[in-house]
Structure 1
Amino acid sequence: MSNGEVKKGSLVALFPLLVFVLLFIGSGILTKDFSSMPLNVAIIIAGAVALAMNRKEKFAKKIDIFTKGAGHPNIILMAVIFILAGAFAGVARGMGAVESTVNLGLSLLPANYLMIGLFVIGCFISISMGTSMGTVVALAPIGVGIASQTDIPMALAMATVIGGAMFGDNLSMISDTTIAAVRTQQTKMKDKFKVNFLIVLPGAILTAIILGVITSGNTATLTGNYEYELLKILPYIAVLVAALAGVHVLIVLIGGTVFAGLIGMVDGSYTISSFLQAVASGIISMEDLAIVAILIGGVVGIIKHNGGIDYLLYFISSKIKSKKGAEFGIAGLVSVADIATANNTISIVITGPLAKSISDEYGVDPRKSASLLDTFSSCWQGILPYGGQLLAAAGLASISPVSIMPYSFYPILMALCGIIAILIGYPKFQETVKTVEVPLVVEEDPALVSDKG
């Protein structure tokens, strides 16, 4: 099968995903309590449904497919990041890092600018380090501290962190999503960055304005001076500096945990025993999310094997009739792939070759197609309640990931900016179509005109 061809797939294969969404989100809507259906139970039921389908395959074969999907390197890495993020957050919280960091922020910025500051910092960090997950686990504890000591809703603080994280994930030169988009569309990194930046910048500006407006009446609940110790803030500074320096997120989190523990032992907050207990407690707090991530990977593996992903790709690609339709098709392809897989990098890798064929056929500039792939995969990743970013933030804040969704201003605005860019043909590109000079007397040398380019 060539890059431009897609199997028809099977609509029925998507049934486990529908079951999961109905159980997790549907039950929350009906009961008005999104904790009524635990996320892990919903995904286990969906997994059981997936394994029960496709009776042509032996059960042992389906288990093998499930475990391979669950054990995908990206899935396991996400699970490990969850666990280490929990360890770092637990240790930092126990030695007073969160309180000192928040109080420093409160002492430097008026309360109504805190969310704008958190969003801008998130944008800068994520675009520098190239990972939304790394940004979330580094900034979420600070957001938790701000929300707990002000009138700002916890869900708003977490959505602000995620918004900043998705800004950089979509644009960073070292982001895996950016690299995947550029490689599949065969364009240059800097060219894609320029186009993508022009598309999403209005969304980032509007997000900052919205955050300023809705938190303008906020008042801090702390009394007296905002006391902080710079020594206790060093773990967060170290984590951010290491991340910006390009250190792998796992090393950043392990190093940050050890560093926070050492500072805690120096100032008397920890003994060796209590430090290890804090690490263990932090890990346990995120174990559930790690298991959920692995189970989601397994269910997606079954869905893909049964033709669910192929069906989505075929259905959308068959509806494309024009250049503008091609751009919407590319956006739709990567959107449904991300909704189905809850992983923006994987969704780009899956849809990238087909998007390239579509862009070539309908004359879509590769800079634009690469930007659309990255923009629409990232916007959904910042909205999905079962995506890694929302799961991590919700876990660190001890809230439901669904509660974050109404405050996901930047991901929603990112999608709107992408749609508007398609509708108005923005940005404009210089024509790069190659022309072929044809001799006046073509009969004398037919070979010169055999290729119509």
Structure 2
Amino acid sequence: MSATAHPTATPGSTPATAPLRFAGGWTLSFVPLVVFLAGCVTYFVVFKAFDLSALAMAAFVGLLAGSVACRENPRYWDAAVRGISSPASVTIVLILFVIGMYSELVKTSGVAGGFAWLAETLGITGAGFTVFTFLAVCTVAVSTGSSIGTMFTAFPVFFAAGPAVGAEPAVLAGAIVSGAIFGDNLAPVSDTTIISASTQSFRTRPGTADVGGVVRSRAPYALVAAAFSTVVFALLGGAADGAARAPELAGAGAPRGLWMLLPVVAVLVVAVRTRDIFRAVAVGLVLGTLTALAAGLISPAQVLSVSEGAPAGYLVTGTTAVLGTVALVIGVFGVMGVLVEAGVLDRLTSALRSGRLGRTPAGAEVAIAVGSTVTTVLFGGVNSASMIAFGPVADEIGGRAGLHPYRRSNVLDCFAMGLGCVVPFLSAFLFIGATLVEGNGAPVSAGALFAGTVYPLALTAVMAVCVLTGWGRRFEAAGGAAVKQRPVA
């Protein structure tokens, strides 16, 4: 399957036959989704545990619970299978496995350590260190495409040393979380970028939004928000006493890690130029492996080997690292397949279309923005899951308004990566950030961490301006072309 041309991405299409019948009416078709959301709240809010495999379990339990209420059990499971086997689901799973290997290579080769060495060499302190950390974490996150993985890598390297060089702890922690979210928002190898693109289908030609085109069109919004965040970190990132004590970055990294920026740049260039994510990752894997071996960052055994009878190497660990996300994709697309077969998607889009919001392109964008934000909050800030669930709805709403798939993808993704993913006491990002802070220095409260996490807040403001003013709004013309004026039907 080409990465530049996919069939329609909607998980299951509106059935020609009557909708699925449930014992207590069509509203019981929400049982799988309600059970899944309850699982999200339970794990992130109650247990404070971040595990995508557990969320996948909640989705599958939800499917089982929904089947009990359905009067047409065989058709119910057929609907779930159609959702799971939809082109969007299969495409996302395939890309995740390929990208998992590349992401693991970049993490294993120690690019974060290269930035730590650079900060030590330049003698950066105070607010300058906070700004440097934000930019470095942005680069690492774009390189790996993993916000959570980047946070686990960056906190031990940068936060542990920050207070010692005069950085404000809460703002520094927020800069790390912000940089991780920036990478997730813009990286062509990010699962959220892939999901936001693959759930938005063209109306005038076959296929879904290509990742390279989405990244190119999204860059202005992300970069404006990042520039504003940089200014804020420069103003507020220094400790109140201005003290810069003995640096503690010595030994935290080595300059050789910076060599891995070569394959990172290659992946970005190939992804944007060819709009083919598979080709970009293949180039990154080959060039990255050769670079890491030549620079002595990894040994041949770290590529592929057997250790104590078990497979080892980044190719293996990269594949296994995405299994939880893959299971989550399968579970959520199964739930969406049931909702589509039950006619819920049609009811929702019809209600929005007949209401005031559905009458204009701006109104459609407002509906997508609100829906994406609320869904992300309900999903505990896990924006990959929220976009899988709300992506088909955004596709229908925006498609009916004539919005280009790139625009739909950007509104969906940027609001999911904005305020919705950092709501205090509900956000997986803030929970993980606070946990990592405790393990690497002075504790920072969730409220203080939220205030320091500037990028998602700035991104929300930037996108709100885009929706209200129409900045960057494009419509789909013949052949999938993006035009400023909506074509006359």
Q: What is the TM-score when the length of structure 2 is the normalising length?
A: 0.60
Structure 1 residue 100: Cα displacement: 3.9
Distance, in Å, in 1 between the alignment partners of 2:340 and 2:245 is 49
Identity among equivalent positions (%) equals 13
2:180 counterpart of 1:161? yes
2:167 counterpart of 1:143? no
Partner residue of 1:21 out of 25, 31, 37: 37
Distance, in Å, in 2 between the alignment partners of 1:123 and 1:90 is 14
Provide structure 2 residue ranges, at least 5 long, that are not aligned to the other structure: 1-9, 21-25, 164-168, 271-278, 438-445, 475-483
Structure 1 residue 159: Cα displacement: 3.5
Quickly say closer, same or farther: Cα 1:384–1:138, change in 2 above 3 A.
closer
Distance, in Å, in 2 between the alignment partners of 1:221 and 1:286 is 39
- Does the 8 Å CA contact 1:91/1:261 hold for their aligned counterparts? no
Q: How does 1:342-421 map to 2 (within 5 A)?
A: 342=385, 351-352=394-395, 354-358=397-401, 371=407, 373-381=409-417, 384=421, 406=450, 409-421=454-466
Partner residue of 1:329 out of 347, 364, 367: 367
Tell me what 1:51 maps to: 64
Structure 1 residue 378: Cα displacement: 2.8
2:89 counterpart of 1:75? no
- Does the 8 Å CA contact 1:84/1:250 hold for their aligned counterparts? no
Structure 1 residue 84: Cα displacement: 1.7
- Does the 8 Å CA contact 1:62/1:302 hold for their aligned counterparts? yes
Partner residue of 1:233 out of 234, 255, 258: 258
- Does the 8 Å CA contact 2:138/2:179 hold for their aligned counterparts? no
Quickly say closer, same or farther: Cα 1:34–1:320, change in 2 above 3 A.
same
2:117 counterpart of 1:103? yes
1:374 alignment partner AA: N
More helix by share: 1
Quickly say closer, same or farther: Cα 1:296–1:250, change in 2 above 3 A.
farther
- Does the 8 Å CA contact 2:306/2:312 hold for their aligned counterparts? yes
After superposition, the C-alpha distances for 1:383-411 in whole angstroms (9 at most, x for unaligned) are 559xxxx99999999969xx899465433
Partner residue of 1:244 out of 262, 265, 268: 268
Q: Which has the higher contact order (CA 8 A, sep 6+)?
A: 1
Distance, in Å, in 2 between the alignment partners of 1:138 and 1:40 is 16
Distance, in Å, in 2 between the alignment partners of 1:185 and 1:118 is 44
2:154 alignment partner AA: G
Q: How does 1:85-96 map to 2 (within 5 A)?
A: 85=102, 87-88=104-105, 91-93=108-110
- Does the 8 Å CA contact 1:182/1:370 hold for their aligned counterparts? no
Structure 1 residue 265: Cα displacement: 6.1
- Does the 8 Å CA contact 1:331/1:372 hold for their aligned counterparts? no
Quickly say closer, same or farther: Cα 1:223–1:418, change in 2 above 3 A.
closer
1:147 alignment partner AA: F
SS at structure 1 position matched to 2:71: coil
Quickly say closer, same or farther: Cα 1:333–1:163, change in 2 above 3 A.
same
Structure 1 residue 380: Cα displacement: 0.4
1:107 alignment partner AA: T
2:332 alignment partner AA: I
SS at structure 2 position matched to 1:61: helix
- Does the 8 Å CA contact 1:243/1:249 hold for their aligned counterparts? yes
Distance, in Å, in 2 between the alignment partners of 1:133 and 1:159 is 15
SS at structure 2 position matched to 1:342: helix
Distance, in Å, in 2 between the alignment partners of 1:349 and 1:6 is 12
Q: How does 1:267-278 map to 2 (within 5 A)?
A: 277-278=312-313
Provide structure 1 residue ranges, at least 5 long, that are not aligned to the other structure: 360-365, 435-451
2:127 counterpart of 1:112? yes
RMSD of aligned Cα (Å): 5.7
Distance, in Å, in 2 between the alignment partners of 1:266 and 1:370 is 40
Structure 1 residue 80: Cα displacement: 1.0
Quickly say closer, same or farther: Cα 1:38–1:274, change in 2 above 3 A.
closer
Quickly say closer, same or farther: Cα 1:194–1:166, change in 2 above 3 A.
closer
Larger radius of gyration: 1
Partner residue of 2:231 out of 176, 184, 209: 209
